[in-house]
Structure 1
């Protein structure tokens, strides 16, 4: 665990800006005031005004920059833009250049897996392997594996009908089956690439994704095991029947999806339409696991090639194939062929599914980009240095501090992505220039990610998705889902803190 820097370190000098709105408050106190007011304004705009987080982050970034003394030119650049790069442009472009491609490729990969019926194959095989008595474990493993390439809410929408069917057949509480599933989906969404949170934090802190994947597994697996334990306990004490209206709606939606797939374009001669292919010819389990696992293994291989291999042509090949852009492209092409073309999908169907999948991620990419702007303004204005010096004087380890800041932002405004990108911007000056290793920085990201899922409640969209989709009352959702998320958060952070002592 990173200990606070010695107190003999002098605080950074005030930035050379003199036109700030709080220029009458000198040095570090003024900058800390700007930071505190900036975070308070961000929370107010998101929570009370209900302003879109992308707009709120941009507005707060500008306000913090002006309050700290940055000039309009430094924030926005000049009209010609030939003599200076604005902080807004550099912050937005710097993070999105790394994140946008990964999120886009990962999203398309998840969409092909979803539409092809990969989730049904996973859950069906696992149910057959573990039997009905261990159905909660089968559902948990389904969420864990299927959650790697797909967003949390998509996983809920796709897998909920399976929960309904198993609960109706077995007579068990919906909670007993859905909570392990949700734990797996939530853990992968918070801790593992290519999900936006850990990818954005890795881009802001300059951490290789291979280390994020490894530490995500190290911290996430114990967290999800602890969450499964709580899910088994609460699922046996609170009975929730199958929500009949949602079950019927899910069947109607499934039929509509199949019809839409068939209408997307004619299948090749002699082959079934895409929707029929997903129904009549289930995907092989090995194919699903290969499509999910290949990109992750390639990224991990590239990360550790510098340790296992000397500079050589084989090492260059491994590093090329394991670059996140290349690895995810390979995974997507595998999905196109193995789950699509080989099973009768037309090129038009593949294009339709891929294009449709990108529409919901626009908001996520913009929020991540605005988080990059916020971090750039904090750094360029001197606020980040002031925060760094103050936090070091407090004496808290950076892993603990990262988790606490992320928890506060998460509980206050509800969005995990906003909590992650904002916390990463605040924590960045604490890790810069201290010679922290890549594994240690990855553990800081795990602490941030763990904090971002703490205590999901009524200001979080995920809370209402869980409550309404599984027919759980608000009170029981707080007792089950909110506590489940807190167990994931605390356990994941505890593992990250313990591992950081040895890294």
Structure 2
């Protein structure tokens, strides 16, 4: 027995078996026993650490000191990096939503593209509004616009819905300040500036292929009418997906009572953090290290500072100047931040799981094994992410778990920031492949757009797969060129 345990802890096959068993336990806990991903990640990480023979003092610390333990450094390292960013991004999305910015943006684009170009307009609405707004909130806010556009156009609801959800999905998977890309920045050691650049480079072709090409193709073949009850949302509807959606509905109704902001204003506020972050990224490449301008750009381009500036601007322009009080803005902030807690715990749990993997030496073993097998790390990252996504449904869990596994593989190998960002994009691409019945987003799409399970598989599931494959292909080609 002792010899078997020693073999598992010290040999390459043994460590690989431990890693594989840990992932199986994680998936069974989430899928079979419906355990919260945060609890499952924490439990699996602790079991793996004990099975690998790590000292208890290293896992959880001592009664007098635990600050350098895997448990605290695993959680604290990533949460210190992303908590402020996700929190501020959530608040920014809430104030933009309440102001009626989505309505203004959709109306402007529909007028610009005309009736025939309405599906393209809906795709751009999803793409732009999806940058600061979470996927599920984006669907709830934008779905009524899709109903109206489909009714006016007299065509299938699918034709208008697929481009919009493709835009929301693309930004959610590939662009900060969404949780997955932000978490990858911390797990992979890559700046958010490069993640934004590579997210756009890899994600936009996927959006075009999935949302515009596939969306148009399938929208002409699967005809779904807009039910009459979809055009008027009942007040206090208890059938919404979750509590956050209900609060969003109340906010949207409040927004319709006041004059909507201009599209240019909404676009400018959304652009503030992106421009500041990219300014710091390019400044670090073009300016002298001791330059005063570089220091200014670095400060303003810190993601937390950039988002704080955008939030303050939005509070003033979209809130105070339009009649809202500070107290009302505080209530809005508190409501928008409620769902963030569990999200941060899941990300922290994934980071702890990754820290355990690194401490056990499994990462180095996997790196050596993959090197001998000739499998590029970007392909490995994509395959792992795809497997986790298909098995347990959550894109965020797939991202943080894969990032924890792949992070040790790339550490110390001299990859450039561009290469690391492309590896991160392959993980993001894998995390959205083949959405099916174990994904909450699958049922949200089905409910909001009047689709049967079969129709949702034919439309949404294929769309996510096209978005995943095309975006990964772009990332893989670029990785081969720059590495």
**Alignment equivalent of 2:220, drawn from 232, 236, 239:** 236
| CA shift in 2, pair 1:125/1:250, >3 Å | farther
Question: How large is the Cα RMSD of the aligned pairs?
Answer: 2.1
| CA shift in 2, pair 1:278/1:338, >3 Å | farther
| CA shift in 2, pair 1:55/1:276, >3 Å | closer
List runs of 5+ in structure 1 lacking aligned partners. Answer: 1-17, 262-273
1:145 corresponds to: 128
Q: Cα offset for 1:441?
A: 0.2
Q: Select between 452-461 and 280-289 the one with higher mean Cα deviation.
A: 280-289
| CA shift in 2, pair 1:427/1:297, >3 Å | same
Q: In 2, are the aligned partners of 1:414 and 1:456 still within 8 Å (CA)?
A: yes
Q: Cα offset for 1:247?
A: 3.7
Question: Aligned equivalents of 1:343 and 1:19: distance in 2?
Answer: 71
1:177 corresponds to: 160
Question: Aligned equivalents of 1:86 and 1:107: distance in 2?
Answer: 30
Q: Cα offset for 1:426?
A: 1.0
2:143 corresponds to: 160
Q: In 2, are the aligned partners of 1:20 and 1:69 still within 8 Å (CA)?
A: no
Q: Select between 64-73 and 327-336 the one with higher mean Cα deviation.
A: 64-73
Q: How does 1:85-104 map to 2 (within 5 A)?
A: 85-104=68-87
Matched, 1:467 2:446: yes
Q: Cα offset for 1:425?
A: 1.1
2:481 aligns to what SS in structure 1? coil
Question: Aligned equivalents of 1:387 and 1:213: distance in 2?
Answer: 29
Show CA shifts across 1:313-369 (max 9, x none). 111101110010100001111110111111111111111111100011111110000
**Alignment equivalent of 2:386, drawn from 373, 396, 407:** 407
Matched, 1:80 2:58: no
Matched, 1:62 2:46: yes
Matched, 1:388 2:371: no
- Provide the TM-score with structure 1 as the length reference: 0.91
Show CA shifts across 1:190-230 (max 9, x none). 00000000110110111000000000010011110101100
1:303 corresponds to: 281
Question: Aligned equivalents of 1:322 and 1:95: distance in 2?
Answer: 19
Matched, 1:32 2:11: no
| CA shift in 2, pair 1:165/1:89, >3 Å | same
Q: In 1, are the aligned partners of 2:102 and 2:129 still within 8 Å (CA)?
A: yes
**Alignment equivalent of 2:312, drawn from 325, 333, 354:** 333
Q: In 2, are the aligned partners of 1:112 and 1:339 still within 8 Å (CA)?
A: yes
1:419 corresponds to: 398
1:131 corresponds to: 114
| CA shift in 2, pair 1:276/1:415, >3 Å | closer
Q: In 1, are the aligned partners of 2:141 and 2:249 still within 8 Å (CA)?
A: no
Show CA shifts across 1:394-422 (max 9, x none). 21111111111100110011000110011
Show CA shifts across 1:92-124 (max 9, x none). 000000011110000000000111111101101
1:190 corresponds to: 173
Question: Aligned equivalents of 1:259 and 1:412: distance in 2?
Answer: 32
2:428 aligns to what SS in structure 1? helix
Question: Aligned equivalents of 1:220 and 1:461: distance in 2?
Answer: 22
Question: Aligned equivalents of 1:20 and 1:406: distance in 2?
Answer: 34
Show CA shifts across 1:33-76 (max 9, x none). 11010000011001101100000000100111111111222111
1:433 corresponds to: 412
Q: Cα offset for 1:171?
A: 1.5
What is the number of residues matched between the two proteins? 473
Q: In 2, are the aligned partners of 1:202 and 1:208 still within 8 Å (CA)?
A: yes
Q: In 2, are the aligned partners of 1:410 and 1:451 still within 8 Å (CA)?
A: yes
Q: Cα offset for 1:275?
A: 6.3
Q: Cα offset for 1:19?
A: 8.9
List runs of 5+ in structure 2 lacking aligned partners. Answer: 241-245
**Alignment equivalent of 2:233, drawn from 233, 245, 249:** 249
**Alignment equivalent of 1:354, drawn from 306, 327, 333:** 333
2:243 corresponds to: none
1:270 corresponds to: none
1:51 corresponds to: 35
Question: Aligned equivalents of 1:259 and 1:494: distance in 2?
Answer: 38
Question: Aligned equivalents of 1:162 and 1:275: distance in 2?
Answer: 13
Q: How does 1:305-324 map to 2 (within 5 A)?
A: 305-310=283-288, 311-324=290-303
Q: Cα offset for 1:129?
A: 0.8
Q: Cα offset for 1:21?
A: 8.5
**Alignment equivalent of 1:202, drawn from 168, 185, 195:** 185
1:22 aligns to what SS in structure 2? helix
Q: Cα offset for 1:23?
A: 2.5
| CA shift in 2, pair 1:21/1:168, >3 Å | farther
